[in-house]
Structure 1
């Protein structure tokens, strides 16, 4: 089944999201969409999947006119979409989340046929080796596993065309490998798969063709085998960025310790962890999901309490009872789930950035200072927003990530905790974020970085700890050479 879209145009107010874009998706083919945040990738997928209506242009599916009014109509035509942001309902079970819009199908005489529901859900999960049992409580699963459930939800419609909007952004290494394997299997079954990704390694591994968008315009289309990664990046950002991804690391003697984790254990999460983070230093933590990196961040933010051992912030004992106490102590946190934990999507850009420390004058909210602060941080991080009052849900994923980072910077932190800071961010924005993180370290901020992106950890970290099963298995000291193969060996 071939889907063709021609001369697609789409505006949101004064913002041009797509301008005269055409694309063809063929059966038995994997098609990648790449481009900077705000380039129009997600908008194009949403139009193809019926979630948005184009202003102009036409679409054909299997040589017939195709103009779905919504995603349900698109699904009836065999087209399914996995959205960029997490859409899991934590109050429901795994199986209920997969069949959330068709639960009545498993009801008889007013009673839910749970065995049939769970059997169908497990079959879909097993079809792409998700490694998730439907009997597992949804609260025990991590973000990567939640994303796998969303993919299973789309596959449960038995689509002929599947759209994945940055589906790997929340996945760990093993989960990404499983998803790429699933994409290959879907292609082998004759499906057309189109996906958005900011990781060219994923594109070159599974895609047959790619389309490059820039500022809503078509910047190129090619067979993946015929175009070099450097040229893809150059067309995406409009300049050559080869060799300039990570800023140079500082060469300085260790400064004072800002965070000291001293022999901390938490049942099922951490086991006798000892870790120091110095002023002006970026310390990275590598590991598989559940390895312990996120637990260390939760510990420093007051989400998790040590059962044994202690923490120190500077020269003082540190035992925050909740995140608010950590923020007031000068500890800022960029979480892995930006829309679930990092910001309130219906609030404005300004409200989200100043949320943790609102500027005040004579006891009242200082609107003028807030606008000055947001203007300065917006320029520093190159946030693309029509105006500070616009709701965050109108922004692209990468710009949402920058808003969360701006919120962290607004409190002038002494310790910055980062959980996958460039998740869902294009290469151009990633370079900007790396520059800001390194600049903060040079200004004396202590940075603790957890990431699923090993090149990111290697390129940014002054020291790198590798965790497995809640323990630190190995630490690469400043000056040590850390390579992906060695890190993975310690992780697994």
Structure 2
């Protein structure tokens, strides 16, 4: 039984440089309900979570908590108010005990001010018992617990603060099938006590089983709210998620015959990430991988590149098997990679543009222990001209560039090395629409010059608009392969979310 409204958002807006992450989000959450939040990657769900958790403050719009205007300036303020967040990547301190994690930041104390370990242990056991997991020892270090146990500890931490609203971000992602049933049991017990739950998941079958109402986000906006979770047709949910305000301007897809085989992946597996993946990429071909975050796409690219070592299977470049787990072997074979997080994984932000461009083959620009900066800059200027880098001054620190131009620098690094196969992981993340269109032109131009491209993107229109051939990936496996021209956005989204439009008549 649901009750009074505990949270109401009205036209909430949050903007970051180059992107409007929330563009007028409105919803309300009632006591004792499971309110499901649905949307594609990039729809604004993560930003919304962080606004509610006090990580970000909205630029405009209204936030009401328990009927009063609210402004959660810090995560501590949100937690004190009664809002707890369980992130997909659990934010536990691995080397602290269960009890220390549960009461981290609000430890029970004696009159003298010292932490009362006895009270902390007793209260932890009570909370864990209420969650049906009294068997978890309060003083066991969290790092020794399985994934399901860690998630229980996160829930116990939320309840230790007497949360009125618990936000769960993809809570089933790390759980086995039998553990999901226990999660749902706990959620039902929480809502029976009047606690509200915001439940975020890409799995429609879970939303139908545990949810009461659904709000759909698309491009940072609320496209629908107050939808009944169990009876809203799958087709309607998919349609609400795929309607768009962002324009995707793709260069015309040329009619071409792929050239020689550049990459062959055969039954590649890595425990807990992906299994039995086989694929090929040919010269002049763009192969797209569509899938949700957590489906194993990024891990697959990193393994092909040698950044991770596979448990089984092979990777061949031009019919020659690559040494597993060796980035150097991949680069020597002509493979380059543009990773998902350019600032953390690809760029030296304090270094000049030219140094970032020559980074992949730095020794070739050195002689006698000294670098030839003039030669580096000459190569970088040629790449800057090819990619229309702005500004052109390659001596500027790369951190001063826009997101789109930083991404051009990472791509340009591999152009300088005559790469034959390029792995692209979320190549347009965090760039504006204009820069996105330029990057599309660059990627198509590389393919026209004979470069093979393996592209991963959370945005289905991007995969369909750029790729010649598409692989659909779900839960670590390739479940479908087809020419991009034979697919549509709704059908691909339906596959990766495990919904079935073929079962629509049964709903």
Using structure 1 for the length normalisation, give the TM-score: 0.56
Q: Kindly report the root-mean-square deviation, in angstroms, between the aligned alpha carbons of the 2 structures.
A: 7.0
| Whole-angstrom CA distance in 1 between matches of 2:479 and 2:219 | 42
Distance 1:454 1:3, change over 3 A: closer
1:292-336 Cα offsets, whole Å, 9 max, x none, are 987764553233568998754336664377435534653233557
Please tell me whether residue 3 in structure 1 is matched to residue 7 in structure 2: yes
What is the match of residue 417 of structure 1? Answer: 423
1:99-132 Cα offsets, whole Å, 9 max, x none, are 48359569998989999899789879988xxxxx
Please tell me whether residue 237 in structure 1 is matched to residue 245 in structure 2: yes
| Whole-angstrom CA distance in 2 between matches of 1:98 and 1:325 | 42
1:341-381 Cα offsets, whole Å, 9 max, x none, are 635798799799858548985145579849947974799xx
What is the match of residue 384 of structure 1? Answer: none
Please tell me whether residue 46 in structure 1 is matched to residue 58 in structure 2: no
Question: Once the 2 structures are TM-superposed, how far is the Cα of residue 161 of structure 1 from its aligned partner?
Answer: 1.7
Equivalent pair of 1:463/1:478 in contact (CA under 8 Å): yes
Aligned residue runs from structure 1 range 392-431, under 5 A: 407-408=410-411, 410-412=413-415, 413-417=419-423
Distance 1:64 1:300, change over 3 A: closer
Aligned residue runs from structure 1 range 331-370, under 5 A: 331-334=335-338, 338=341, 342-343=345-346, 354=357, 356-357=359-360, 362-363=374-375, 369=381
* Structure 1 alignment gaps of length 5 or more: 128-133, 380-386
| Whole-angstrom CA distance in 1 between matches of 2:126 and 2:440 | 44
Equivalent pair of 1:378/1:406 in contact (CA under 8 Å): no
1:160-217 Cα offsets, whole Å, 9 max, x none, are 22345xx349948978x949958974656644344678x69699855725375767xx
Equivalent pair of 2:398/2:406 in contact (CA under 8 Å): no
Question: Once the 2 structures are TM-superposed, how far is the Cα of residue 78 of structure 1 from its aligned partner?
Answer: 1.4
Aligned residue runs from structure 1 range 388-467, under 5 A: 389=399, 407-408=410-411, 410-412=413-415, 413-417=419-423, 441=447, 443-448=449-454, 462=469
SS of match in other structure, 1:159: coil
Distance 1:35 1:444, change over 3 A: same
| Whole-angstrom CA distance in 1 between matches of 2:170 and 2:431 | 12
| Whole-angstrom CA distance in 2 between matches of 1:192 and 1:13 | 33
Residue 29 (structure 2) aligned to one of 25, 33, 38? 25
1:209-265 Cα offsets, whole Å, 9 max, x none, are 5375767xx67654336876545544x5167x9xx9x99988755521213457989
SS of match in other structure, 2:450: coil
Count of residues paired in the alignment: 450
* Structure 2 alignment gaps of length 5 or more: 134-139, 366-371, 392-396, 499-507
What is the match of residue 77 of structure 2? Answer: 73
Equivalent pair of 1:418/1:450 in contact (CA under 8 Å): yes
What is the match of residue 327 of structure 2? Answer: 323
Question: Once the 2 structures are TM-superposed, how far is the Cα of residue 79 of structure 1 from its aligned partner?
Answer: 0.6
Whose Rg is larger? 2
Equivalent pair of 1:283/1:464 in contact (CA under 8 Å): yes
Equivalent pair of 1:8/1:58 in contact (CA under 8 Å): yes
Question: Once the 2 structures are TM-superposed, how far is the Cα of residue 420 of structure 1 from its aligned partner?
Answer: 7.4
| Whole-angstrom CA distance in 2 between matches of 1:160 and 1:346 | 42
Aligned residue runs from structure 1 range 224-303, under 5 A: 224=227, 229-230=238-239, 233-234=242-243, 236-237=244-245, 253=257, 255-260=259-264, 276-281=280-285, 297-303=301-307
SS of match in other structure, 2:304: helix
1:19-64 Cα offsets, whole Å, 9 max, x none, are 8876533332515376995x87655543433334456666432234
Equivalent pair of 1:49/1:68 in contact (CA under 8 Å): yes
| Whole-angstrom CA distance in 1 between matches of 2:130 and 2:429 | 26
